[in-house]
Structure 1
Amino acid sequence: MDRAIYTAMGAASAVLDQQAVVSNNMANASTPGFRAQLSAFRAAPVEGPSIPTRTLVVDSTPGNDFSLGPVEQTGRDLDVALQQDGWLAVRLPDGSEGYTRNGNIEVDSEGQLRVQGFPLMGDGGPLEVPPQAQVTISPDGTISALGAGDEPKAIAQIGRLKMVRDSGSGLVHGDDGVFHAVGQAALANDPTLKLMPGTIEGSNVSPVKAMVSMIANARQFEMQMKVINNVNDNAQRANQLLGPS
């Protein structure tokens, strides 16, 4: 009976972990460029002094769904959407690079371009624009700025966005919300990539599917709790039968 309790407890714990992944996807259903995390159960052998013939089921996150999300027209000059397999490069606090498909670019108080709070990388490093300048981005990633009160012909090129290409196989999702290159410090810039200014790619999370998964996980958890309660009740009845009358 104890084995049944531990088996049901392990299953309930795995369902809770899977529910956390689905909940995180649901919370990011409106985050631009978000890639849904995948969750799955896998068999793990039980190690011990006996013959390894028993296995347990554990939850795992094998990767992310890299399918395209819906692209919407915003008309905002600093919104961009990338081609399939295209990524924007950002600088992380430790000086390394991270990658994101979030095209919602912002300008901070010091004129630095940022995405998700991280400095946006260009060909030569983080990009900055003059204060109060009107910023435009061309399809090849070139950033131009027109100072406040300047004539249209005074527009100047600031730099070019660093865009890299990866199908997702060489990237892993980090706890900081961006992707990191596997086995190398940084990905190379791909000058052939194009983007769509004035548009933004939404999250590829389906709220309906995520809600269905959350309900299914909740029902599985309840079923495991019933197994534990039933086994516990059976153990109590057995103790009463075997106990002194």
Structure 2
Amino acid sequence: MPISRALSTAALGMSAQQKTVDNIANNLANVSTTGFKRSTIAFQDLFYQNIATSKRGGSMADGSSGGGRLQMGHGAKPAATVRNFSQGSVQETGGSLDLAINGTGFFQVEMPDGSISYTRDGNFTMDANGRLVTQSGLPLADQIDIPEDTVGVQISQDGIVTAKLDGDRGTIDLGQIELAKFVNPGGLEALGDNLFGTTETSGMPFYGTPGMEGFGGLQQGFLEQSNVDIVTEMVSLIEAQRAYETNSKMVQTAEDMMAMTNSIKR
């Protein structure tokens, strides 16, 4: 039934645009989240139904091939969330435990079950045991332990962590921060808390020293900001709103046509 097909197709279009608006809302909500990476939704058209097949092929007036088939589509569906890992702006904070990655790479974070997750959020702090941890209390996989009598921490661009001790006892080496990178970072799974997990799409991580070939360097006293651009999101929001309105008008039109058909007296 052509009219019911238009009704369902337009309804699917409204649902698709609603998901776009939901995604934009999440991007805008995280405009101030350290290391956040904006995402978009990729859509695919649904299956096509062959309504009729002509014995004659030939070309259309615009030069395209008609193929001799009359096909009707059934709308669109959200296929995947595509995350944009472009570099966010770097803002100076002055915090000795704040780190920004200037380039490619992720910090490695140890989860409670012993697995490793990855983050661009370098807003670290120190727990009661002196470990370098995230704001959620998850330790770096590099196991950096800061002594109680430390009066200053220095982190070089290549990830070497040193501590200046109280008095005239000099400095000690606390360890090395390593970074991880992926062939396809867009395939990482968002876990919340600014963390990402590996998937088959992302591939397994490669490890390296900050500043070496293919890895970004560290900047102490800086944090990477969200890469969400408010103007871009607002433009996308307007486009999604207009598309939603158009699909809703299509629903109303289909309903009006069905009412007209039902009112015909035989």
TM-score, length basis structure 2: 0.77
Give the corresponding residue for 2:30: 28
Aligned match of 1:121 in 141, 146, 151?
141
* C-alpha RMSD of the superposition: 2.9
Match of 1:209, as an amino acid? T
Q: What pairs up with 1:81-92 in 2 under 5 angstroms?
A: 81-92=100-111
Q: Which residue of 2 aligns with 1:135?
A: 153
* Counterparts of residues 42-121 of structure 1 (less than 5 Å): 42-45=44-47, 54-55=72-73, 56-117=75-136, 118-121=138-141
CA shift digits 1:144-201 (9 cap, x unpaired): 3345xx2153433222222123354474132334222334996343023431111121
SS at match of 2:88: coil
2:61 aligns with: none
Which of the two has higher C-alpha Rg? 2
Q: 1:96, 1:186 within 8 Å by CA — same for their partners in 2?
A: no
**2:203 maps to 1:180:** no
Identity of aligned residues (%): 29
The separation in 1 between residues aligned to 2:124 and 2:87, in whole angstroms, is 19
Residue 207 of structure 2 aligns to a residue in which SS? coil
Q: How many residues align?
A: 237
Q: Which amino acid aligns with 1:119?
A: P
Q: Which of 221, 230, 239 is the aligned partner of 1:198?
A: 221
Q: Check if 1:213 corresponds to 2:202.
A: no
Mark the runs of 5 or more structure 1 residues left unpaired by the alignment: none
SS in 2 for 1:195: strand
* Cα deviations by residue, 1:50-90 (Å, 9 ceiling, x for unpaired): 99x55431123352212111112222111111132121111
- The TM-score normalised by the length of structure 1 is 0.83
Extract unaligned runs of 5+ from structure 2. Answer: 54-70
What CA distance in whole angstroms lies between the structure 1 residues aligned with 2:235 and 2:190?
A: 26
